[in-house]
Amino acid sequence: MKLSTKGRYAVMAMVDLAKYESNKPISLADIADRQEISLSYLEQLFGRLRKGGLVKSVRGPGGGYMLSRTPSHVRISDIILAVDEPIKATRCKTESSLGCTGAKSRCLTHDLWSELGNQIYLFLSSISLADVCESRVLGSSGEFWRREHELIDAAQ
């Protein structure tokens, strides 16, 4: 599964908003500069985020965007789904009961990829903006991979 720039940029922008917001709106131009994301692309994403109820806009001088909930109540999965990014690993169309093969049946590995999509969704649902802002994301899997690479390097 590959997360598109739409999902990645939306998460980056929301983390930026959570990190720099201090009871006053943040301009998209500021986020665009800090995160090196096109302003016009951010405008499109924030339209979807606002429609999804994750941000609110403030018009006028000193206007911009604010989170509509506290960072601990915004899940990463909420952000990705708000910008219409599917969280799935199968090639089947979600709205179709037809399978992913030319014979309109499920491929042999459909259940494997479907469950992977479910696990990714569960993982992203378990992480809040606050978790990312406070560097609480790296868990035991990061430690596992570090140890594995140390063992491989030592064996060579």
More confident residue, 109 or 51: 51
Which letter, b or e, does each residue of 49-74 get, where b requires 16 or more Cβ atoms within 10 Å of its Cβ? beebebbeeeeeeeebbbbeeebeeb
The DSSP-derived string for 113-149 is HHHHHHHHHHHHHT-BHHHHHTT----HHHHHHHHHH
- Residues 26-46 have pLDDT tens digits of 999 999 999 999 999 999 999
Q: State which H helix or E strand residue 67 sits in.
A: strand 64-67
Residue 63 within a domain: yes
Domain encompassing residue 20: 5-85+126-155
* pLDDT score for 107: 75
Residue 66 has pLDDT above 90, yes or no: yes
* pLDDT score for 27: 94
Q: Kindly indicate the confidence band of residue 62, based on its pLDDT and cuts at 50, 70 and 90.
A: confident
More confident residue, 34 or 103: 34
End-to-end CA distance of the chain: 31
Residue 28 within a domain: yes
- Tokens linked to 51: 């429609």
* pLDDT score for 102: 63
Question: How many domains in the chain?
Answer: 1
Residue 38 within a domain: yes
Q: Out of 6-10, 13-17, 117-121, 146-150, pick the least confident.
A: 146-150
Residue 31 within a domain: yes
Beta-carbon contacts of 98 under 8 Å, excluding residues fewer than 6 positions away, are: 92, 104
- Residues 75-98 have pLDDT tens digits of 999 999 999 777 766 766 655 556
Query: Tokens 């599917």 — which residue?
Result: 86
Q: What is the mean pLDDT of residues 95-107?
A: 63
Q: What is the mean pLDDT of residues 41-57?
A: 95
CATH number, residue 27: 1.10.10.10
Residue 120 within a domain: no
Residue 137 within a domain: yes
pTM for this prediction? 0.78
120 vs 102: CA distance, rounded Å? 27
More confident residue, 23 or 44: 44
Beta-carbon contacts of 112 under 8 Å, excluding residues fewer than 6 positions away, are: none
Beta-carbon contacts of 99 under 8 Å, excluding residues fewer than 6 positions away, are: 92, 105, 106, 107, 110
